Amino acid sequence: MDKELVMYSRTLGCPFISIAKKALKEYHVPYREIFIDKDDTARQYVLETTGFLSVPTLVVANIGNNLPYIPPAPLATGMSPRGINRGTVITEASRDELVEWLQGHGFIGT
């Protein structure tokens, strides 16, 4: 696969981070984690992309890149990004939403 999964996260966990990590471990999906509370550029990216500091925000990126390989579908101003499949980005997904998104990008089989 010529793409990789990047997870924008934070050092203090939350239920959505736990859900994502558990599903990624269960399906043996490798990912690279970037902590928005340690990286100002990452923090700004998540804020601009989601409208909030919503984590985890998962991104399908070209290998070695932190940004989506194509821009995600836009959100209406003030709209919650939670669980919305935006193409190359998903934020605060439930387990089922995340698994479906990962399958759609070929990270796990159907």
pLDDT digits (tens, 9 = 90+) for 86-107: 999 999 999 999 999 999 999 9
Strand partners, 5: 60
Matching residue, tokens 């998104």 = 101
Residue 92's CB is within 10 A of a number of other CB atoms, namely 24
pLDDT at residue 25, as a whole number? 98
pLDDT, one tens digit per residue, over 43-70 is 999 999 999 999 999 999 999 999 999 9
Fold classified for 3-104: Glutaredoxin (3.40.30)
| Alpha-carbon gap, residue 31 to 5, rounded angstroms | 5
pTM: 0.96
DSSP-derived pairing of the beta strands 3-9 and 32-35: parallel
